[in-house]
Structure 1
Amino acid sequence: MTLAVIVGPMGAGKSTVGALLAESLGVLARDSDTDVERIEGRSISDIFVDSGEQHFRVLEKAAVADALASHDGVLSLGGGAVLDPDTQALLAGHRVVFLRVGLSEAVKRVGLGTGRPLLLGNVRARIKAVLDERAPVYESLADFTVDTDGRTPAEIADEVRQALEQVARP
């Protein structure tokens, strides 16, 4: 079973924190977005542009299901992966950590000149819409929520590690 599943919106630091957490726990880190890119042989942006979001979501769903079934380290999910009801069901029984990020911090981390396909147009407005839409889903799935604003990835990973250790104690 996966030791911890990291969820949250773009700019929360899921991949970075997941890698640091895995290193501190002595396990492997895995990222569902990286898995999709490796399987497809192209970037997520290219998948969105060439094949559309729906195609990407099908690939993402399969990648997450495979990782949840086969990976026993730390798994970071793409921001939209949790929107799929089947994926939500698969997360049951796993320790899910929601990395919460505020709008201003997310905009600062993601940047205004980004190549993220969901952010075409008014970047700040799109990030706000994504945060508003997805926050309730992240919260409903999470065993732990960690605020990331104004904190380093190492501080966040340490808090997650401590939370996981508390759960592991009898």
Structure 2
Amino acid sequence: MENPEEEILDPGVYYEQLQEMYIEEADLNLSTDFEARTTLVKLNRLQSDVSKLKRDVSKDMRTIRTVYLDESVIDKPKLLGLFGRGKDLSTAERRKKLEKEREKNLTPYKEVIDLIDDYIIQIEDLKKYIEDEVLETYSRIPKVVKKISKADLNKES
């Protein structure tokens, strides 16, 4: 980890990537068994992609936390564009300032993580609906079955 500035993406970039992953209602075709299964495969891939995005955001959050482990970050002018040159601070003041700055910089990433978590729940709910209701409907035996008795068979002969 030579230069943390190059590794950390802006939370807006992650938000845009997440927006591109949202699935349209028109993409959800459940009219046939085949289409429902195809949609289920798409949702599994989408969930995998969204989970990967969440890992990337979490990685950046860890990187930011790591930067803030070093108290000398306050003394460095404009590291990550976060700090200006300030007055000499006591140890407690330095720690509080570090925590405050760290939380301020992590908040947008936490919001993206929350959006991702909500989307994953929506995907899981939709998958469960397709598996439990739609595919179950296509696999049911039709209820309108005419029973043929031996007497009916004898009449036909």
Q: TM-score, normalised by structure 1?
A: 0.27
More strand by share: 1
More helix by share: 2
Structure of greater Rg: 2
Q: Which has the higher contact order (CA 8 A, sep 6+)?
A: 1
